[in-house]
A and B are shown apart, each in its own frame.
Chain A
Amino acid sequence: NAGVTQTPKFQVLKTGQSMTLQCAQDMNHEYMSWYRQDPGMGLRLIHYSVGAGITDQGEVPNGYNVSRSTTEDFPLRLLSAAPSQTSVYFCASIHPDRAGYGYTFGSGTRLTVV
């Protein structure tokens, strides 16, 4: 099925560990983004990309890195996990010609840092 695929669905990390959250979409969307969702705070933008080779920071970028080597993939890297990064992470994509239709979201990655 076409859409945004996130892996893993659940992850537990120890403080200081690194990991990569994977995001892939098969809709040929140029625009992809990462959000984190915390209770009572809605979704906050971490990083976004307007196309392969182009990334930019969002609202809460510290502690996260991204890259966009292909249109399909937009991984999010945590270099040294901290308990403050415990959250649910959503990847989303959109085609610029269909901007008004809103994002397509993945089903999320629930990350716990202990």
Chain B
Amino acid sequence: GQQLNQSPQSMFIQEGEDVSMNCTSSSIFNTWLWYKQDPGEGPVLLIALYKAGELTSNGRLTAQFGITRKDSFLNISASIPSDVGIYFCAGRFGDMRFGAGTRLTVKP
């Protein structure tokens, strides 16, 4: 089946630092999405990418859809304490599959 490998599993950073995480797959997807999950809540969509090579920003967040359609990355610039949470990548080709998540901790 379609498997997504998301890395790193966790990150501990200082407020103000930039963050980078990525997702790779052996299968191609026609949509890549990035979600954030706060404790006790469901995931919330951050960025959606629709075509290979696409680079999209949402405030301090930037994500790219890899040209092979098998990978994507998410960057967060100048992190702040409220960036804390679990970030999931998801690939869609028919149904949607999720990576295992990156747990981000931001130290003030």
Contact = CB atoms under 8 A, between A and B. Distances in A.
Q: Chain B's interface: helix, strand, loop or mixed, by majority?
A: strand
A42 B88 contact: yes
Bin chain B's interface residue count.
20 to 34
Contact of A102 (B4, B41, B48): B48
A76 B1 CA distance: 23
Contacts of A44: 98
A68 B35 CA distance: 26
A11 to B, nearest CB: 15
Contacts, number: 54
A40, A41, A103, A107: which has the most chain B beta carbons within 10 Å? A103
Interface string A48-61: 10000000001100
Nearest to B2: A59
Nearest to A41: B100
Given A42-B4, A43-B88, A58-B95, A100 B40 contact: no
Interface in A1-41: 4, 33, 35, 40-41
A40 B100 CA distance: 5
A102 B90 contact: yes
19 contacts: A33-B95, A35-B98, A40-B9, A41-B100, A42-B4, A42-B6, A42-B88, A43-B43, A58-B95, A59-B97, A92-B42, A99-B31, A100-B31, A101-B45, A102-B33, A103-B96, A106-B42, A107-B40, A108-B41
Interface of A: 4, 33, 35, 40-45, 48, 58-59, 90, 92, 99-103, 105-108
